[in-house]
Chains A and B, each alone.
Chain A
């Protein structure tokens, strides 16, 4: 039996363990099959969504989400933003840092306000930086201690540079304080 994965979301500013209604879809056939289920929440790879853009835009049944691979250009998600409820960013390895830039672009440039989830190899030592660049949802790697992860969001009480969570650098915040 595979080890359990846990989902953490930032709710009212605090990390909480929550149930995960989202189902990953990896093919058009699977989309067809699951798409008819009432109340389904389907996470589609961006390439799949982009292959049937009309279907995404016209979808009134299941909630849809987009999953970006590390090399996906977040600009490709822009046309779908009004039609999806979740954007996931895949971290195949925790040392692959491309997803951090994807998050910054989605939040700061393309205006994504909805749930932004880190998936893949997501370990507690990344959570602080992931949250800073705009993630508010974290699918922990399987088998990881969720309680330890909940406590791992604030190893630092401040940051020098601005990012999505706080666009002002420390010097500007301190100056205006």
Chain B
């Protein structure tokens, strides 16, 4: 993976020194709380329910084993021994004392990590496909482009005080969008044009939150070297014209909608005309320099005979261990190199909040990465961990090792592989708890046979309308709402992240909100409806799209009169 140059290292070191000085001035009373707030946010520090939360960037989800160990050490030394992998390829620590935050940032800088711009009204951590570089369906490895833009956006002097946060994602798969790109402020769909050159279809104005919007393509086939300058044009239009009078209307999606996507695109084009091919244009040499950091690891060149023997051994292991077969079916993905596979280790199991990992698990993950996957890990926006380069002949051994750690639950892409925000247990924004809901669903539907029979299904839970749990795009979405001080849960159906914006949809609310204890029954009623109505081989979302939400809604509200009170839900 990309390793810091001397210059990169100096940037993060100087950032630590700068923040140390800011904290010292705040402690001395020379900087007010209000003045410190944007500064600490741009260093990843929120004031949360219990203590400041530190959000650490894992750029495009890529993490070296030694970095994972450093995260474990931070959890042990400055936190309470665990962290939470978020839906934006970050890790969050919930118990960091503000006074000690500079030391934590220094510990991160020592392993080429940072918390720069993980919060605040600026360009946030850039996210991408956790299978980047190994996925067979990939048109181009997005990571060098992500890193190019990470560097471009770091401490950008013009765009540090935008109207609101700004999230960028890259997707380079023709068949799936594994970064929920269409739900970002700015999304780049990388592909190759007819001549083989790397170009991006550019999407703007997507987002979740209280006004969920699937973004719109505003530019087709942008040559990759224009990524920085075109982004500069987008951000300048947004910085100047985005609303600042109401934080709920300040995201770029509101501007794009107010102007209309075509008019917005024209504004951007007019701005871009001044920048195109200017000094900010990326160069082949710079891309090559960055891309060298993502050169493939030293894959072994397996002979056809060896590959055949591996396949036979896997078949025999599968025959002897049905659990291994099941895990192979859910957790192991195809790899572009023969003899290798990408493995997703599940952070979703009973008793653990989705995405949480304690220091011991982090270190064990680092060990597994070193033993089986060239010392690298990836964090997924579904809050799991990927070992992207596992030799197929190691899969059985990896399964055994992961099973011993509780990381081999074969539920990837299934009901209990829920996306879930920290919710009211930790987050001061939340209206309701989300972790206990996830726990109740996990416990109710722990039967793996049933989950496997249900097949591919996304169930996403957010504790408030900020939608960190991506409930808007869950096939089943659950949103915590506050009604007169009590916690209730609204259910949406039909959300889906498709391969492109046209096939991506926001879920629709099915009716009035439920009490927490009703949720497992409601989910059960929805699932029973699917099982009753599905055609052979039809996935949950396909049945839902074919028959519409009404039968599901009817099942969720057996008392019809209750279902009619939907307006105020």
Binding site for B on A (CB under 8 A): 94-98, 100-102, 104, 109, 123, 125, 128-130, 132-133, 145, 148, 155-163, 167-172, 174-175
Contacts and interface: CB of A to CB of B under 8 A. Distances in A.
B240 interface: yes
Interface string B278-318: 11101101100100000000000000000000000000000
A104 B22 contact: no
A95 B282 CA distance: 29
Contacts of B159: 97, 100
Contact of B157 (A145, A159, A167, A174): A159
A169 B157 contact: no
A101 B239 CA distance: 7
Interface residues of B, number: 41
B30 interface: yes
A169 B280 contact: yes
B228 A161 contact: yes
A155 B17 contact: yes
B280 A95 contact: no
Given A101-B158, A169-B228, A109 B121 contact: no
Contacts of A128: 157
Contacts of A156: 11, 14-15, 18, 155
Contact of A125 (B14, B22, B158): B22
Interface of B: 7, 10-11, 14-15, 17-18, 21-22, 30, 35, 38-39, 121, 151-163, 228, 236, 239-240, 244, 274, 278-280, 282-283, 285-286, 289
A172 B279 contact: yes
B161 A96 contact: yes
A40 to B, nearest CB: 32
16 contacts: A97-B160, A97-B162, A98-B244, A100-B157, A104-B158, A128-B157, A132-B157, A156-B11, A156-B18, A159-B157, A160-B155, A161-B152, A162-B279, A169-B228, A169-B279, A174-B7
A75 B57 CA distance: 38
Given A100-B239, A160-B152, A175-B285, 7 more contacts: A94-B161, A100-B157, A100-B159, A129-B158, A161-B151, A169-B280, A171-B283
Secondary structure dominating the interface of B = helix
A169 B287 CA distance: 13
A158 B11 contact: yes
A162 B239 CA distance: 18
Nearest to A165: B157
Contacts of A95: 38, 121, 161
A161 B158 CA distance: 10
B115 to A, nearest CB: 16
Given A98-B240, A104-B236, A171-B289, A133 B157 contact: yes
Contacts of A100: 157-161, 239
A155 B14 CA distance: 7
A27 B535 CA distance: 74
A97 B239 contact: yes
Nearest to A74: B240
Contacts of A162: 279-280
Contacts of A98: 239-240, 244
B245 to A, nearest CB: 11
Contacts of B158: 97, 100-101, 104, 129, 133, 163
B244 A96 contact: yes
A161 B151 CA distance: 8
Nearest to B163: A97
B236 to A, nearest CB: 5
Nearest to B22: A125
Contacts of B151: 160-161, 170
A170 to B, nearest CB: 6
A169 B7 CA distance: 13
A100 to B, nearest CB: 5
Contacts of A102: 240
A157 B155 contact: no
B150 to A, nearest CB: 9
A123 B157 contact: no
Nearest to A159: B155
A35 B240 CA distance: 33
A150 to B, nearest CB: 14
